[in-house]
Chains A and B, each alone.
Chain A
Amino acid sequence: MPGYSEFYFNVDHGYLEGLVRGFKGGILTSADYVNLAQCETLEDLKLHLQTTDYGNFLANETGPLTVSTIDEKLKTKLLTEFHYFRNHAFEPLATFLNFVTYSYMIDNVILLITGTLHQRPIAELVPKCHPLGSFEQMEAVSIASNPTELFNAILVDTPLAAFFQDCLSENDLDEMNIEIMRNKLYKSYLEAFYKFCEKQGGTTAEIMRPILEFEADRRAFIITINSFGTELSKDDREKLYPTCGKLYPEGLHLLANAEDYEQVKCVAEYYAEYKAVFEGVGSGTGEKTLEDAFFEHEVKLNVLAFNNQFHFGVFYAYVKLKEQECRNIVWIAECISQRHRTKINNYIPIF
């Protein structure tokens, strides 16, 4: 029954939606960021974070404060909140929340495989994984030597198996193949997620559509830009583009034929919002990078999700916004600890 979600939504998901909106109130405001950016030391930062919704999440840290402990604690907090959502969720929200974690799972798998390829010990790699995307068999990923083995032995039990169909090949795992695999996984994941949201219909689809479309297009742009100067052929490149974005199909064709950054920019010119994003990018130091510009646009889209009620988009948006907040705090903390204050204001304010 799409379209009438307001009548029955609250029966199953009302509590969690209320909760997530409450949590959203705790997201740092730009005033908080201004204060954070004034901090002289990490202790100051901690002191200020104590006055926000984070409370004394660092209070039990003995020993000197480092950026990595802050990062870890921030992620643990997000993880606790997310697990609370997940444990109290009914279908289809439960599946939706699962979908949110899949992207982190993909990143973790790829991270581990790349790490093993470079002969790094697994114990060193695991802490670098995003806790939202950890799963039971995750650490076993390192024993696989090619994608088929990876799939057959390890990933077949995980929810990622469904996205893996396109990646099955006997090729050895080298850096190029891993990157291709990541993008293929991501493509299948995004398309599946998009389809899932469309199936939900109603406001959920309405809200998630632009967010996922943007996500897909962002990947297409980034794949294109990153593939310049590599041996990836144009056909192969086109196969990696997620097809659920606004660029599909014409834009993707154009992107596939692009040869340098200027041409990518030309493609973006045809689409109003991406044109704005590319125009915001500066080339000099201290100016916005393309990545930041994309992040900024993402934040804008995610904030919009809170304008509607009775849909799942708020959960996705909350996780993403919180993740951005973690990135911001870590950025500021890094700048403080490295005494690199000139770039401290390059965070992306949310509210």
Chain B
Amino acid sequence: MGSLFRSEEVCLAQLFLQSASAYSCISELGERGLLEFRDLNPKVSPFQRRFVGEVRRCEEMEKTFSECRGLTLGGFSGDRPARPLTLRVQEQSEQLAQELREVSRNHASLRGRLRDLRQCLHVLREGQRFTSQPMTFGAAVQPRGGLPIPALLLCLCSFVAGVIHPWRVTAFERLLWRACRGYLVASFVEMPEPMEDPVTGESITWVIFLISYWGEQIGQKIRKISDCFHCQVYTYPESEASRTEAITRLHGQIQELSVTLEETEKYLAEVLDKVAQVLPTWRVQVQKMKAIYLVLNQCSFDVTKKCLIAEVWCPVRDLTQVQEALRQGSVSGSCFVQRVPTSESPPTLIRTNKFTSGFQSIVDAYGVASYQEVNPAPYAIITFPFIFAIMFGDVGHGLLMFLFALWMVLYEDSPRLRQGTNEIWLMFFEGRYLILLMGAFSIYTGFIYNECFSKATAIFPSAWSVATMANHSSWSSAYLATHPSLTLDPNVTGVFQGPYPFGIDPIWSLATNHLNFLNSFKMKMSVVLGIVHMGFGVVLGVFNHVHFQQRHRLVLEFLPEMIFLLALFGYLVFLIFYKWIKFSAAESMVAPSILIHFIDMFLFTSNAENLPLYPGQVPVQMVLVVLALASVPVLLLGTPLYQWCRQGAPRTVRPGAVGGSMGVTRRSHCGCCPGAAAGHGGTGAAHLDFAEIFMHQAIHTIEYCLGCVSNTASYLRLWALSLAHAQLSEVLWTMVMRNGFVGLSYVGGVVLVPVFAAFAVLTVAILLVMEGLSAFLHALRLHWVEFQNKFYVGAGYKLCPFAFAPDTWE
């Protein structure tokens, strides 16, 4: 848990791996996933690296695998690939692939042969139908070409027969006609059954053609043309008898071939089974192997060439584990890890669990924390759902959301939820704990607002007594009939019996000034919460200053920032509470306006019509404003001047002294003024660019001071959105659901069903999803902008350890 508050300590380390055991060491480390490897030869192009041969062999195997792949199913659980294994895998896989290739080639050729025979059979059959008809009937044939041919001529001519792709028929026919000037008769018939196209593998209804021609010259030409059109030409026996004979012979051949084909198919299935069994594990192994070699490619050799050196970012906590892994991986125990000092900023590592990861990713989406900077995520676990709930306060809606998230949480291990491919769904699923808390907090704020689907609930009896009021002012029936609205006066004893125990009194939902009351309450609440939230952000900055050994910033930055915020806006919060406590219902008529007072405070005036809240108010306010204004120049000039002094003094005496002394202490990392880090960490050579520091500080000051005003206003979105949500749900109730309560008869019951359906759908679609998303976005903005810019730099980068994680292999 400790690491959630700031990122873990990460050090640069060198791994010394003996060449013999480097492979197994990296394999061990990959299984544990602890280290991020740094590329030590970034200038070397990928194909000039050391282990390129091995990588290529892995690719070769992958190629073989993808060739074999086709019918593989099932999960992946690859063992650690040992190096001698690879040779075996390669050998076996190649053997299998070879076998597979051979069998499938046999299979294909058999099928091709069978197709050929069948096509030939069809050609002969169709041809026979065509040529024998005129013989028997003695009539003229009407082929597709449209020329009537005397039947006798048919006996004198020769034939070319074959099949052609249906798309090419027209072009083929036209070309034949043009090229041979009509000395031929061509007829085209579709084949009765579709067959496979040997090129594309699609099933096509081929077209059979039979061309009869006169003369050898033309015959040659026709053959040439049919060649060009990729036709399958079959020998067409001239005489009727030989044709019949050919057909019977073909029948026999086809049958024989079918038997052989069946056998081959059976054998093929066997081989495929064998492949399907071993392929998944092999694939994982080879992929792991390739990853290991890619990592080894990033290592460099030491002078003696006996040992590989890898540079890694390693969490200090895991150093022992790394040692352990290296000991297991190496044969003779000669691999070891050594920390090396560095001036680079290490990557950020924040370990999360399934609960915190959703919140951490919200923070990371804004920017990954700089190394060892205060991490806002643990605070967001509470503040984020709470701020969301302020805008989404409704018991009913919150409950629905809570139950939805609860369902996801309870069934989080179910693979169906986990392996959804829908990106939006996965997003919801990743944030299930966030949604759970958002729902829970919404229920809480819903009770405070006393709203459940926009209706108030009376858990406790209302603190207002209508009966007392009626008795007191003795309303007659006539008075009641003429006055649609009545006033309950809290100043009458017994009408208002003290505050409601929890939240808003349900009687307010009946009042006509309901909105006025709630607006005033919610507006003040937003300002109070906003200022507390921002103040907390400024306080978090303290931990950064202390951690990075920049105590001067406590005085020169934190203090003026805090004074500025509290003197102006903290005072506003004080006024709000003071007025709430000081003025009771009886004095409400004379209660002064805080707004006017606050404006007067800046103008250094006092308004006679606006009574002072407390004696001595004007001098106090004057002091506060002066304090706040005085803190601005401190904030603006403090840090730059301090650093200028610090740097100026030792430089004249002994350059490098600062760098030396700072090197001993923890390496400072300051994001607000990047120049500062360089100034401290660097030796004499790195000089401090005063102008730059000053610029940054000026920007920061302006941003902070203006930000305090604008961010306070920005928190008013809490009020606006909660108002919008309440109003929208009320509209939905009055415009939709109330229509279902028209009559108390059975008809009313029937009407209620569709009305409730509409109400339910609209509630989920508009109030839960749409409103929920908008409230989420606003909560996100309040965290990213208003809260985090008080202390968070977010200029780091993540530690991505080298690991054989299962999800990266799919």
Contacts and interface: CB of A to CB of B under 8 A. Distances in A.
Contacts of B52: 47
Given A59-B63, A62-B67, A142-B224, A38 B45 contact: yes
A104 B174 CA distance: 24
A38 B175 CA distance: 51
Interface footprint category on A? 20 to 34
Contacts of A59: 63, 66
Contacts of B229: 139-140
Main secondary structure of the interface of B (DSSP, over half): helix
Contact of B175 (A43, A60, A142, A154): A154
A143 B168 CA distance: 18
Contacts of B46: 47-48, 51
A95 B703 CA distance: 59
Interface string A32-45: 00010011000110
Contact of B63 (A44, A47, A62, A142): A62
B228 A152 contact: no
A136 B45 CA distance: 45
B290 to A, nearest CB: 13
Nearest to A156: B178
B47 interface: yes
Nearest to A61: B63
B45 A139 contact: no
B379 to A, nearest CB: 44
Contact of A48 (B45, B56, B63, B174): B45
Contacts of A44: 47
Which of B67, B171, B228 has most A Cβ within 10 Å? B228
Given A35-B45, A48-B47, A140-B225, A153 B178 contact: yes
Contacts of A39: 47
B179 interface: yes
Contacts of A79: none
A172 B63 CA distance: 52
Interface string A94-114: 000000000000000000000
A39 B63 CA distance: 22
Contacts of A53: none
Contacts of B171: 136-137, 157
Contact of A152 (B63, B178, B224): B178
B179 A143 contact: yes
B225 A143 contact: yes
Interface string A105-131: 000000000000000001000000000
A136 B229 CA distance: 8
A140 B56 contact: no
Contacts of B227: 122, 139
B228 A140 contact: yes
A41 to B, nearest CB: 9
B221 interface: yes
Contacts of B48: 38
B56 A43 contact: yes
Nearest to A143: B224
Contacts of A143: 179, 221, 224-225, 228
A47 B179 contact: no
A137 B175 contact: yes
Interface string A14-50: 0000000000000000000001001100011001100
B56 A47 contact: yes
B76 to A, nearest CB: 21
Nearest to B55: A47
B218 to A, nearest CB: 11
B47 A60 contact: no
Contacts of A136: 168, 171
B174 A157 contact: yes
Contacts of A140: 175, 179, 224-225, 228-229
A122 B228 contact: yes
A151 to B, nearest CB: 10
Contact of A60 (B63, B174, B228): B63
Interface in A60-109: 60, 62
Contacts of A35: 45
Contacts of B228: 122, 137-140, 142-143
Contacts of A48: 45-47
Interface string B39-59: 000000111100010001000
Contacts of B168: 136
Interface of A: 35, 38-39, 43-44, 47-48, 51, 59-60, 62, 122, 136-140, 142-143, 152-154, 156-157
Given A140-B225, A142-B224, A156-B178, 17 more contacts: A35-B45, A38-B45, A47-B47, A48-B46, A60-B66, A122-B228, A136-B168, A139-B227, A139-B229, A140-B175, A140-B179, A140-B228, A142-B228, A143-B224, A153-B175, A154-B175, A157-B171
16 contacts: A38-B45, A43-B56, A47-B46, A47-B47, A60-B63, A62-B67, A136-B171, A137-B175, A139-B228, A139-B229, A140-B229, A152-B178, A153-B179, A154-B179, A156-B178, A157-B174
